[in-house]
Structure 1
Amino acid sequence: MLLLSSSLYAQLPEEIQWKHLQKNYAADSTKLELSLNNKLLQGKYKIPLDNNSFALYNIKKGLISGEAFWYTNNGNLECKLNYKNGVRNGLKENYDSDGATWLREEYKDGKKDGTSEMYNSGKISSKTDYKKGKKDGLSISYSNGQVMTQTSYKEDKRNGLSSTFFNGVIATENNYLNDVQDGLGTMYAMGKKNMDAIFKNGQRHGVAHMYKPDGIVLFESYFLLGAKVSKEEYEKYLKN
């Protein structure tokens, strides 16, 4: 367990109740300025929080700076994070009651920026890329070390391929555009392609196939903007 023992706070810091502090937040809430009786805080502080938990902050001219620590009511470290001029910057880690990391996040200018990871019993359970506070890149979930889902994001919206897996074997593949299914969608049975369809703006639009286990097409279906049509109607649409 990670207990209260930091050379940074070797000397007992001044203690101030959180509720007594004056708090000045930036418009986007990423920056916080702390004062007491209209005087900016300066120094090292122990700030009691709810349920007898507390935080240790190094504060310069009212702004939290450097490493900060959050502790449970029994003195176990539950979170370590970094600030620059009152704004979260750098690594943030959360710990369980045994001292193991269960959450690791990167911040830049008060927003998630980089890879965030969650853990369960020491094993990774999810990993997501962020840019300026939004999902941007891959988001992956795991079960017992195996990938369960993998999705591509751009500015917090699904864009590109999204896949699901069962016991490490591909189960579905779908494409997205601005968080709406668009393009080829494929389902698999025991790793073999079972069916596929083309989507446009979230609706089936094009030819859909059902496959035999050996990969041979069993039959085809035709769709126009979500409505099932005959082959003749579909071919007529293509000619127009």
Structure 2
Amino acid sequence: MRFFILIVLIVLSDFCVAQEADSVFYSSGELKGYGLLCNNLKEGEWFFYYPNGVLSAVLNHKNGELQGVQEYYDSDGNLIIIEHREQGLLEDSSKYYYPAGQLKKKGYFEDGLYEGKWVFYFENGVLKQEGTYVQGLPQGEWSFFFDNGNLNRKGFLRNGKEDGFWKYFDKEGNQTYEGHWKAGEKVGTWYYFKKGKQKKWKSFD
């Protein structure tokens, strides 16, 4: 089957000035990967394997660089990553999975950095956290949840650090604390909650 795919790739890739099939092997002799070379550079789909023969990745190339959809598998053959690359850099949408197939996180890349909204999930499928990235750093409002779906904490981040007003809750959904942050440090007066009533906890000025 592998060699049939390779023959098809050769037929469909007749634009290369000099193309050839290529294979790489582990030091122990097992096949590590195979695909096409175009002018001595990886071109099109390359298939990679673990030493036990299980598929580890299907990687697309153009002129020797990763280009387009990239798929990665764990050692049991479960799909765990689907990414897009442009000239080797992560771009556009990406999805990551737990071994059993549940979505772990999804979002977008720009120039190899997290960008825009990202969403993360617990292994049971419940939302874990969500928020926005700007040039690879968390920015703006973020929400974090317990694995039962209840809100854990919610507030604002600037350059990856807490900044602004935050509220905290216990696993049963009861508010526990609230207060302000500045550049990752607590500031001002913080409050705790007992039986639903707000009480002063500590001042950080």
Please give the secondary structure, in 1, of the residue aligned with 2:53.
coil
Match status 1:168 vs 2:149 = yes
Q: Does 1:123 align with 2:123?
A: no
Residues 163, 181 of structure 2: 8 Å contact kept? yes
AA aligned opposite 1:211 = F
Q: What's the % identity of the aligned pairs?
A: 24
State the secondary structure of the residue aligned to 1:143: coil
Shift of 1:200: 1.2
Alignment partners' CA distance in 2, 1:41 and 1:168: 56
Matches within 5 A, 1:21-170: 42-51=19-28, 52-120=30-98, 121-137=100-116, 138-166=118-146, 167-170=148-151
| Aligned partners of 1:104 and 1:118 also within 8 Å | yes
Name the CA distance, whole Å, in 2 between partners of 1:111 and 1:9. 26
Kindly name which structure, 1 or 2, has the bigger radius of gyration based on alpha carbons.
1
Partner of 1:5: 2
**Residue number in structure 2 paired with 1:27:** none
Q: How big is the shift at 1:193?
A: 2.3
Match of 1:19 in 2: none
The 1:75–1:210 alpha-carbon spacing in structure 2 relative to 1, beyond 3 Å, is closer
Match of 1:199 in 2: 181
- What RMSD over aligned residues (CA atoms) do the two structures have, in Å? 2.5
Distance 1:74 1:88 in 2: 25
Letter aligned with residue 73 of structure 1: P
Moved more, 85-94 or 111-120: 111-120
**TM-score between the two structures when normalised by the length of structure 2:** 0.81
Alignment-mate amino acid for residue 122 of structure 1: G
- For structure 1, list consecutive stretches of 5 or more residues without a partner in the other structure: 14-39, 225-240
Query: Which consecutive unaligned segments of at least 5 residues does structure 2 have?
Result: 11-16
- Amino acid of the residue matched to residue 7 of structure 1? F
Distance change >3 Å, CA 41–CA 72, structure 1 → 2: farther
What secondary structure, in the 3-state scheme, does the structure 2 residue paired with 1:99 have? Answer: coil
CA distance in 1, matches of 2:79, 2:203: 51
What SS does the corresponding residue of 1:9 show, helix, strand or coil?
A: helix
TM-score (norm 1): 0.70
Residue correspondences, number: 193
Q: In the superposition, relative to structure 1, how do residues 160 and 50 fare at CA in structure 2: closer, same or farther (>3 Å)?
A: farther
